Amino acid sequence: MHIGLDFDGTIADVAWLKQRYILDRWDVQVDIAETGRRVALPILGDKRYEEMLLAVHQTELVLEMPPVNQAIEVIERFLTAYDVTVVTARLDEELGLAQDWLKLHGIGDIPIVHTKQQSKAPIWIDLNIKFHLDDTPEVLEDAPESMVPVLLNRPYNIDIANSFSVENVDNWIEFEEFVRNYPF
């Protein structure tokens, strides 16, 4: 069985890094729930928002992101039982830092496929992904019928409506149990 995992916000806590960058750079205090585009953009404005995005995706700051709670432990267990691939929307120039981050956290052997900010659906189909965990509801909307899309609830996505066909989990342990107990 093959599991797909998003990187930013699902494995690596990019919201934490955004929050820290906004505070350090502009002395603006934002809640984790305010780090997503639809809330942060009006707070920061276009120019500062784009600067923040570049910094947290294309600089060595990426390596300072902590893992999302329980992500590394669950991924390590998954690697003993399943095929696991990171399926990320990152661009070419952002991919190396994500690979370095995975190595830094002891899971550098996981293959990474990137969509360059395009739909993940073709990758899910090509790799025959059975479950995909992501923190962005919109990404999961075009999931193929052969895959179970799972949303990791985060402070910045809990008020976004998602499709009835998307499963929701509150943490990585819940996702692990969901996968292990899924009735095929």
**Residues 8 and 18 placed together within one structural domain of the fold:** no
Number of domains in the chain: 2
Interatomic CA distance for residues 10 and 24, integer angstroms: 23
**Residues 83 and 129 placed together within one structural domain of the fold:** yes
- Which residues, other chains included, contact 178 with Cβ-Cβ below 8 Å and sequence gap of 6+? 131, 150, 167, 169
Interatomic CA distance for residues 45 and 31, integer angstroms: 17
**Residues 75 and 30 placed together within one structural domain of the fold:** no
- The length of the chain, given as a count of residues: 184
Give the structural domain span for 152.
2-13+66-180
Model pLDDT, residue 157: 84
**Residues 94 and 128 placed together within one structural domain of the fold:** yes
Model pLDDT, residue 151: 95
- Averages of pLDDT over runs of 10 residues in the chain (184 residues) are 97 97 96 90 95 95 97 98 95 90 96 90 97 94 94 85 82 98 89
Contact 35, 15 (CB under 8 A): yes
- Last residue of one domain, picked from the residues 48, 64, 80: 64
